[in-house]
Amino acid sequence: MGLMLGFAADRMLADPHRFHPVAGFGRIAGAAESLTYRDGRAAGSVHAATLVAAAAGAGALLGRAGVLGTATATWVVLGGTSLTRAGTRMADHLDAADLDGARELLPSLCGRDPQSLDADGLARAALESIAENTSDATVAPLFWGAVAGVPGLLGYRAVNTLDAMIGYRNERYLRFGWAAARLDDVANLVPARAAGLLTAAAAPLAGGRGADALRAWRRDAGGHPSPNAGVAEAAMAGALGVRLGGRTEYPHGVEERPILGSGPAPATADLRRAVRISTAVQVGAVLWSAGLAVAVGQLRRHRRLG
């Protein structure tokens, strides 16, 4: 019930514009980094473990509030509504040939260099972000909430936030951010695959075929540098019948990403179709996670009685 109420709150209210707890966690993590940073895996592991444990501990306290605590935590950690609204606004900017507005909006979706992208590049970047973050911002937190309650919700969001802050393969974070990146990979193994299946199921809602989504997943996901983002992006590419990947420019450098899917490069209409699939995946995820939460609860009660 708490997961479903929190999901409903996200649909109605989206992210809070001020005093967002996740942003507050990010500020705390940044301040902690100034004290804990050393160019080594051990320091990064202690940094990540301490912050994730603190977030999970806060979740244990909040969980004492029962359904209301779970609903509040769920609303705080979900980002699906803000994601789809940003995708729709990006499509509006591109349809209006407002490249300045689209470039200004892109950092709210991903960390790429917007000034280096034309209209096609902006559409592809936004679509890939919607695919990956549908899993990261909705499916994964709901899964961990179902499995581990409020500590799972807040602990997962801490892991994902740390990965976004320090999980880079650049000179500063290659070793210090290693633990955060590996934690995020492990935390998303199951959710990313659930998101891939839900994307395939939702493909007909956007004029696609689930079989094409599954085919692109099997064929292309393994070439992606992320074991999880590749699943979500390849499934979305197959569901839409478009081609993702290729040259990708970040502020820290250029990466040549593998091609995911087959077909033309995505256009604005495909971005709107991706928003439709993302919304359906989010609804499917909350129903699945609610059922999983019931099953986990019954299993725990059975073990106590046994």
Please state whether 208 falls in left (phi above 0), alpha (psi between -120 and 50) or beta: beta
Which tokens hold the place of 171? 């000179």
The pLDDT tens digits for 25-36 are: 999 999 999 999
DSSP string for residues in 158-180 = HHHHHHHHH---STTHHHHTHHH
Residue 231 neighbours by CB distance under 10 Å: 30
Checking if the pLDDT of 245 tops 80, the result is yes
Instruction: Determine the structural domain holding residue 90 and report its residue range.
Output: 2-305
Amino acid 303: pLDDT: 87
Q: Considering the entire predicted model, what is its pTM?
A: 0.94
Q: What is the CA radius of gyration of the chain?
A: 19
Rounded Cα distance between 256 and 245, Å, is: 8
Main-chain dihedrals φ then ψ at residue 271, nearest 5 degrees = -65, -40
75-99 pLDDT per residue, tens = 999 999 999 999 999 999 999 999 9
**Is residue 129 over pLDDT 80?**
yes
What's the pLDDT band for 138 if we cut at 50, 70, 90? very high
Dihedral angle, C-alpha 1, 292, 202, 84, nearest 10 °: 50
Residue 151's pLDDT band, with cuts at 50, 70 and 90, is: very high
Q: Which two tokens stand for residue 144?
A: 């961990």
Give the amino acid at 258.
P
Q: Which residue has the tokens 């909350």?
A: 286
Cβ atoms of 202 and 235 closer than 8 Å: no
Domains in the chain: how many in total?
Answer: 1
Q: What is the pLDDT of residues 110-123, one digit of tens each?
A: 878 888 889 999 99
Interhelix angle 2-13/140-166, rounded to 10 degrees, is 60
**Confidence band for 10, pLDDT divided at 50, 70 and 90:** very high
Cα 72 from Cα 9, distance rounded (Å): 9
Question: For 65, which DSSP code?
Answer: T
Instruction: Calculate the dihedral angle through the C-alpha atoms of 51, 160, 45, 32, rounding to the nearest 10 degrees.
Output: -40
Joined together, the tokens standing for residue 186 give 């492990």
Reply yes or no on whether the pLDDT at 273 is more than 70. yes
